[in-house]
Amino acid sequence: MTATYESIVDAALQLGPDDRCRVAACLWESVGEPVHELEAEELESVLNQRDAELDRDPSQEISHQDFMARFASRRRA
């Protein structure tokens, strides 16, 4: 049987808070170091670029919920 994201989350949510924290910490540690974290100046540049893109074409804007749903579906793929 192959575990799925949904089955793992459902099982984890049945644990008590302390055990959920232990599972979360174990999973976080298993990921390793982030590939690349943006420095404050880099982040500011990216945000300014995105803001300018939205000024040029407001139709590109999506809601936070839509972004998170798209991001989550990419992570599962």
pLDDT band at 57 (very low <50, low <70, confident <90, very high): very high
Tell the residue number behind the tokens 């575990």, with chain if given. Answer: 3
28 and 41 in one domain? no
Total domains, the chain: 2
Q: Which domain covers residue 42, as residue numbers?
A: 35-77
Look at residues 12, 36, 35, 11 and name the one whose alpha carbon lies nearest to residue 22: 12
Distance between CA atoms of 44 and 76, rounded to whole angstroms? 29
Element (H, E) at 9: helix 5-13
Same domain? For 20 and 47 the reply is no
Question: pTM of this prediction?
Answer: 0.41
Residues 21 and 1 in one domain: yes
User: Do 27 and 55 fall within a single domain?
Assistant: no
- Which pLDDT does position 37 carry in this prediction? 74
| Per-residue pLDDT reduced to its tens digit, 30-41 | 887 766 777 888
Two tokens, residue 68: 């998170």
Residues 44 and 71 in one domain: yes
Shared domain check, 42 and 26: no
Q: Which residues contact 20 (CB under 8 A, 6 or more apart)?
A: 12, 13
Q: How large is the greatest C-alpha to C-alpha distance in the chain, in angstroms?
A: 49
